[in-house]
Structure 1
Amino acid sequence: MTDVLDELHWRGLVAQSTDEAALRSALAEGPVTYYAGFDPTAQSLHVGHMVQLLNMRRLQLAGHRPLALVGGATGLIGDPRPTTERSMQSRDVVAGWVDRIRAQIEPFLDFGGPAAARMVNNLDWTGSMSAIDFLRDVGKHFRVGTMLGKDIVARRLRSDEGISYTEFSYQVLQGMDFRELYERHGCTLQLGGNDQWGNLLSGVELIRKTDGTAVHALTSPLITKADGTKMGKSEGGAVWLDPELTSPYAFYQFWLNTADADVVKYLKVFTFRSREEIETLEGEVAERPFAREAQRALAGDLTTLVHGQAATDAVIAASQALFGRGELRGLDAGTLGAAVSELPRTLAKAGDLVVDAFVGSGLVASKAAARRAIGEGGAYVNNTKVDSDDAALRTEDLLHGRYAVLRRGKRTLAVAVAE
């Protein structure tokens, strides 16, 4: 149990701690019950949430007991954003999102054994609380001056929109969560991102004032790319854990496209690979960057963790098949559709000339160029070489009745989609 804090430091996952020496001692004496909270302000978690999910798992593997809080109450409000108020969702919508997010969290933790995880919902202790009870029993322990000094509140006060009393009170609700979990489950440690430091301290201070006990808060840094930009966005927006929002193929490709400058850091933060394995992959990045071994390890580990081994195998098979190293016809409709979703495309139907499909998709600039590619043996439909200028798309070429993958040379791809 004493090694987990050192491991978190080595992985770059420690930003601030209330009292690191005291926390180290508590972890050594263990087991410690700890929690991290996830608000249902959308129907899915995204890859940024994985930092805390994986930190929870690391502590559990070291013998400590996790509480995963899905905020059915705080999700009705939402923690303050840097610039504008959140749009409030209905109670029914938030309740549905709670269920979806609970299901996404479960694979990351072990709910059996001596360090069994527990799922909790803060609506259980706030739903029946009256406003008077909230103000008398909780609100009286918070000083407005201290609350105004919190970074996110100060920024919002400087903005044109300001901040509502509702979002201003969020830190009180989060502080109350920590106290409730301390009293109900003996929880003495809260994990969070560094942007949540002020909210974490609210709970620490509330427990100190009401129970006279020193508890702990530990934050991890916000993960950024080497260029300083925020990690977790693709060209299409956030990278979600829900396969309906971000397909396993797109999820795998997001990690596969990690820059060499970022991949070693991401291996430390997002995988359970050992120091020796990561150092070996770091050597691969330096000596053979073109092989992208580190990126493949990162993408494979995370896709398997989130979507399962079968989905990872299907994604890798699709990636290989697109470039002629596998059988496209063996891919299921969902995987194939995701694999071709970002390719240049043209509408087509059975009987259309392949030459026209190549021109329509932008693979070549003209029919003459298409015929030249065919004559040189560099034109393919579903990895089958086209050998005639008059070749037409056949019904069986439209995989799953919809897609025909077009390729010029070894790596230039497009797709013909049935009208």
Structure 2
Amino acid sequence: MNPQRFVRLVSGAMAALGISAAAIVALNLRGEDPLPSAETLKPTPALVAQGEYLTRVGNCMACHTVQGGAPFAGGRGIETPFGVVYSSNLTPDKATGLGAWTSAEFWRAMHNGRGKDGRLLYPAFPYTSYTHVTREDSDAIFAYLQSLAPVAQANKVHALRFPYSTQAALGVWRALFFTPADVAQPAASAPQALATAQVPDYQRGAYLVNGLGHCAACHTPRNSLGAEQQGQALAGGLIPVQNWLAPALTDAAQAGVQRWPQADVVALLKTGVAPQASVIGPMAEVVFRSTQYLSDADARAMAVYLQALPQHAATPAKQAVAPVSVMERGAKVYEAQCAQCHGAQGQGAKDEAGQPAFPPLAGNRAVVLADPTNLVRVVLQGGYLPATAGNPRPHGMPPFQHLLGDEDVAAVTTFVRNSWGNQAAGVGTIEVYRARERRSP
């Protein structure tokens, strides 16, 4: 090759790399304002109390507390497809926590996903949702966290695979998939069909669901790089690593609540139980640690928003007739292990107060989801409702993974998916095996 041409090619490549790097840096600085030199926030008891409430709405303790450890002291490993991210210490310890932070630096972390030292934060901290949180609410949360007792607990180093462990790779990811919210943007536009009196509730509900509630973190499918798929907000998907199915909130056959009475949506959020459904798996923890503490007004606002979501029914899967031998085997397992609680006809049972104790399986949309993962996992690992103020002594289902083999689990789940009017594809032993191998949350 001609030396001069080679030099030109190398120079052009270097220039292109430089332009790309500059573009990535610029995209990662979008929406950032210079930080003030001094703290301007003046906490008050009312602000701290509001921050405590908002911290529960955001379910911050769940990720930032190790089981049996000091609240908010961090160190919990959050498994991702790219490795483990460890949550940080949010207590006001000056050396290891937020004690040396300012409210502006905390706001930048929430809104822009950037740490005190300027490093980019990994989106396991869901700033892709928290970017919608207002500065006022961010300040309230910061005031509450600063009111906690400081805990000296050093932050753990993330255990991510190369190149995901590099700031360069994270910068490219953010340039592609993260845009900070425009704080000057008006509140969410309510659907025209919504009654005028419900518009404020809709806007508040949109703020809670899409912001602090970060519902999209589980209920939106993700691409191969872990980013939420565009145009698929709240359309459901398998939660990475945890491998529970977060059903679509935009599909009445999955978790859509458009046709429910509003009071039932509120009940599900605050107690974990409603006449039409009950929560299990990761959602049980969300209700236990977060949504049961919603104010009545905020629970109603979330209900209004969730009920106004456009519904997009998934294409129904082709149904296969379950073999008679499998149905007969499943019926025997059901009679021996399940009928005592769920009823001979899958009708469920109520407690002495008339409240749902054991959910019906007949007509239960969670039973007939196209993906049977959750049903199989409940049979294997048990299903436990959250203990809430509205349902303080919930009934639970014991695990059967040590009692039933893969063929029995496949047979009984196929049986309940095709009895009492239910119609769904059968469950194979390979699906049971895969569910056994998956980690619990």
TM-score, normalised to structure 2's length? 0.24
**Structure (1 or 2) with the larger CA radius of gyration:** 1
Q: Which has the higher helix share?
A: 1
Q: Which has the higher strand share?
A: 1
